[in-house]
């Protein structure tokens, strides 16, 4: 498990990362470790807090990745995953207008969508 984690930290090739990730997912030792860790903390308020924090970081990482790779589908998907968090932490009323923004993105023609990704990438 330590060898696989070390590979995961030092790989830069996407295929190599995918291979190491698949290897770790199949590793029974990793599964047993995560099951043990999460079983003890299930339902604990602080554990729930950190798990939701990790979920938000995962969504934001997906959003950043979609911008860097100019993947329009992944970008829209990440925005849809951000929407519930915008509703929860809506201090500036972003959650009110965000569904409309996503709806507009969904109906954009392909040419305009490609241009949007170029513009978003340059910011």
pLDDT at 120: 64
Are 52 and 98 found together in one domain?
yes
List pLDDT tens digits, range 34-83.
Answer: 788 777 777 788 878 888 888 999 999 999 888 888 888 888 899 899 88
Does 63 lie in the same domain as 24? no
Q: Tell whether 72 and 92 lie within a shared domain.
A: yes
The secondary structure element, H or E, covering residue 63 is helix 45-69
Q: Examine the domain organization and report whether 53 and 112 are in the same domain.
A: yes
Same-domain pairing of 7 and 64: no
- Are 70 and 53 within one domain? yes
The tally of domains found in the chain comes to 2
pLDDT attached to residue 117: 65
Nearest 5 degrees, angle CA 41-CA 62-CA 86?
A: 75
Domain, as residue range, for 82: 45-123
- Helix 2-10 vs helix 14-26: angle between axes, to the nearest 10 degrees? 160
- Answering whether pTM is above 0.75, one says no
Mean pLDDT of 6-27: 78
24 and 70 together in one domain: no
Closest CA to 105 of 116, 97, 90, 94: 116
Q: Are residues 17 and 55 in the same domain?
A: no
- Give the model's pLDDT for residue 58: 92
């Amino acid at each position: 498990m330590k060898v696989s984690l070390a590979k995961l930290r030092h790989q830069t090739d996407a295929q190599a990362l995918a291979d190491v990730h698949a290897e770790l997912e199949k590793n029974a030792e990793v599964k047993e470790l995560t099951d043990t860790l999460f079983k003890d903390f299930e339902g604990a308020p602080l554990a729930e807090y950190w798990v939701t924090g990790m979920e938000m970081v995962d969504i934001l990482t997906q959003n950043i990745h979609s911008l860097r790779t100019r993947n329009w589908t992944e970008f829209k998907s990440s925005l849809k995953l951000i929407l519930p968090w915008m509703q929860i932490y809506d201090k500036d009323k972003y959650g009110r207008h965000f569904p409309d923004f996503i709806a507009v993105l969904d109906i954009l023609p392909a040419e305009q969508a490609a241009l949007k990704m170029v513009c978003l990438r340059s910011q």
